[in-house]
Amino acid sequence: MENSFKQSMRWLHTYSGLIVGWLLFAIFVTGTTSFYRTEINTWMKPELQYSKPSIETINIAKQKALELSNKSKIQVTLPNSRSNYISIMWFEKQKNSKKPSRVIKYYDASTGAEITPRQTRGGDFLYRFHFELYGIPKFAGRWIISIATMSMLVAIITGIIIHSRIFKDTFTFRNKANPRGWMDAHILPAVAALPFHIMITYSGLLLFIRLIMPWGIDAVYQNDFRTFFKDFSILKQMPMDKPSKNSSHYVLEKKNLDNILEKANNIWPNNIGSFSIDNENGSKIEVSPKEKSSIYSLRFDREYAIYDAKSTKLIYQSKTPAGDSVVAKTHATFETLHRARFADSFMRFIFFICGVSGIVLAGTGLILWVEKRKKKYEKKKSYGFFVVDKLNIGTIAGLFIATAAYFIANRIIGFDIENRQNFEINIFFIVWLLSYVYAFFRNSKKAWIEQFAIASVLYLLIPIINLIIYKDGVFQRDSIYNYFDISSLILSFIFAVGTYFLRRKYVKGAIK
């Protein structure tokens, strides 16, 4: 019975990981990069690289806000540890569209000069690909990701069951180009970051709970999601005044804005992150902190203070969590953990390293399947084995090549090209597709070596292209850009080392 049960678990572990393994690998790669989504957004707008926060930043932000206070509602975001510029966002109605369009203006945090960055989806593209793919209906993409996430959870649980010596094997690593060596490479990251893998997978499923298990919400709220969010967030507590049709537009005074921000600074000392001016709902100003003090600080349950723009009196200050629901608190905790919204720079880096271990876990699992069956199926000329082998190359090496090409495209595509952000994304998918095509028509052993070498060269080119295009003021640019270039050099080195060892084993005949 024990052998039969373990055999069943082994089969389930193998194929729950293999069938969606290539998608899981892509989910881990794009999800791990999304921990630095804001930094990638900033890097892919190099026009912003010379902006640096100063003692004048808050005064500049206030002045720009007053200049745009004729808009119905504007959102002003100040620089923080992850961005170096001032941004102001509002929505404008379009003549031929019911949906208003979003307008964002960027300003230098030291001089106040307006900056016009290039059009790009930046890290947002990788972030959204992580949980809804691209080019297919949004809900279809999320359903696919949900199924893959469930398969990952099954693979984790069955992996724990079948590896009875899992913790002992963690301290045993055999650097051999054989199934035993790949097994060690698969187990090591699995156990080293096992709590993270369980948390990130389970929390990912919870984020899709309203999609994959909507029956409870439907039974109580009849698809009225706004009422649902009101019951589980501060929306049910905050003032919801309706704008008066006859009220005239209030002209915000500088002294009032100064007074309000000074009061907010008393609540969050030196920690004001953003403020908005709302002229639609009775002329109010909402202020939010830069660093969140609660793990429950989410979109619908967050910290902020609302002031009357005329009297400067505090109208409402939110407290998180808003309600006493254990279910809502649990959901908020897992959501915050999954997105690392609570994390400072150190914890974000820890999450990133754990994400890298997930990439290694998924990648080595795919390779292990091939290595364990290579002798058996290569002789039989199995088409299924051939396809899995080639898909591994195109997915593992190809995704990194495509990502590097995406970053390089950001620098070399013309600034004024219409819909240039779509060109960047198209290059990402074209390069990724070419990687698959190359793998299918090339000897597998050589394809691994050559694609790793290509990846190494491309990541090396990123800082070189940066240096060529922006050779002036290299030491004056914001540190985010330097860190990104250093990360590219590290990736280039990793792929160069991988190329070296694959080449050496190939020459020695260890790769068969």
Per-residue pLDDT tens digits for 404-441: 999 999 999 999 898 999 999 999 999 999 999 999 99
Residue 42, pLDDT > 60, answer yes
Least confident of 51-65, 113-127, 258-272, 309-323: 309-323
Dihedral sign, Cα of residue 131, residue 133, residue 134, residue 138: negative
Q: At what angle do helices 479-508 and 444-469 cross, to 10 degrees?
A: 150
Does an H or E element contain 33, and which?
helix 21-33
Per DSSP, the three-state class of 310 is coil
What is the pLDDT confidence band of residue 17, given thresholds at 50, 70 and 90? Answer: confident
**Per-residue pLDDT, 8:** 87
Segment 85-120, tens digit of pLDDT: 999 999 888 777 777 888 999 999 999 999 999 999
Look over the chain and give the mean of its residue pLDDT values, rounded to a whole number. Answer: 87
Integer CA distances (angstroms), 255 to 66, 259, 312, 408, 428, in order: 11, 6, 10, 46, 49
**Per-residue pLDDT, 269:** 92
Least confident of 124-128, 169-173, 320-324, 342-346: 169-173
Dihedral sign, Cα of residue 458, residue 446, residue 391, residue 204: negative
Mean pLDDT in residue range 373-390: 84
- Structural tokens at position 76: 């002003």
Of 288 and 475, the one with more pLDDT: 288
Find, among 428, 461, 435, the residue nearest to 450 by Cα. Answer: 435
What does the radius of gyration of the chain's CA atoms come to, in whole angstroms? 26
Residue 511, pLDDT > 60, answer no
Residues 485, 491: contact at Cβ < 8 Å? no
From the centroid of its chain, how far is CA 118? 20
**Per-residue pLDDT, 512:** 47
What letter represents residue 307's amino acid?
A: Y
Find, among 277, 310, 309, 275, the residue nearest to 290 by Cα. Answer: 275
**Per-residue pLDDT, 46:** 94
**Per-residue pLDDT, 243:** 46
- Structural tokens at position 376: 């058996």
Phi, psi of 244 (to 5 degrees): -80, 135
- Structural tokens at position 341: 């919204």
| Dist CA 126 CA 400 (whole Å) | 12
How many CB atoms lie under 10 A from the CB of residue 277?
25
Q: In what order do the strands lie in the sheet with 314-317?
A: 114-115, 97-108, 85-94, 73-77, 272-278, 284-289, 305-308, 314-317
**Per-residue pLDDT, 305:** 92
How many CB atoms lie under 10 A from the CB of residue 172?
12
Q: Where are the alpha helices (DSSP H) in 441-478?
A: 444-469
| Dist CA 87 CA 37 (whole Å) | 17
Least confident of 371-375, 378-382, 463-467: 378-382
How many CB atoms lie under 10 A from the CB of residue 40?
24
Q: Which residues pair with 285 in a beta bridge?
A: 277, 307
| Dist CA 317 CA 132 (whole Å) | 35
| Dist CA 225 CA 209 (whole Å) | 13
**Per-residue pLDDT, 1:** 45
Of 180 and 347, the one with more pLDDT: 347
Residue 167, pLDDT > 70, answer no
Residue 330, pLDDT > 50, answer yes
Segment 234-261, tens digit of pLDDT: 545 555 555 444 445 667 888 999 999 9
Residue 482, pLDDT > 70, answer yes
Task: Work out the end-to-end distance of the chain between its first and last CA atoms, rounded to an integer number of angstroms.
Answer: 37
Q: Does pTM surpass 0.85? A: yes
Least confident of 75-84, 236-245, 442-451: 236-245
Number of helices (H), then strands (E), in the chain: 19, 8
Residues 151, 17: contact at Cβ < 8 Å? yes
| Dist CA 191 CA 201 (whole Å) | 15
Mean pLDDT in residue range 29-54: 94
Q: Which residues pair with 286 in a beta bridge?
A: 276, 306
**Per-residue pLDDT, 3:** 66
- Structural tokens at position 35: 């921990």
Per DSSP, the three-state class of 304 is coil
- 235: Cα within 13 Å, side-chain hemisphere: 12
Residues 32, 357: contact at Cβ < 8 Å? no
Cis peptide before 321 (omega within 30 of 0): yes
What is the pLDDT confidence band of residue 283, given thresholds at 50, 70 and 90? Answer: confident
From the centroid of its chain, how far is CA 481? 18
Residue 125, pLDDT > 50, answer yes
**Per-residue pLDDT, 244:** 47
Least confident of 25-34, 90-99, 184-193, 421-430: 90-99
What is the pLDDT confidence band of residue 178, given thresholds at 50, 70 and 90? Answer: low
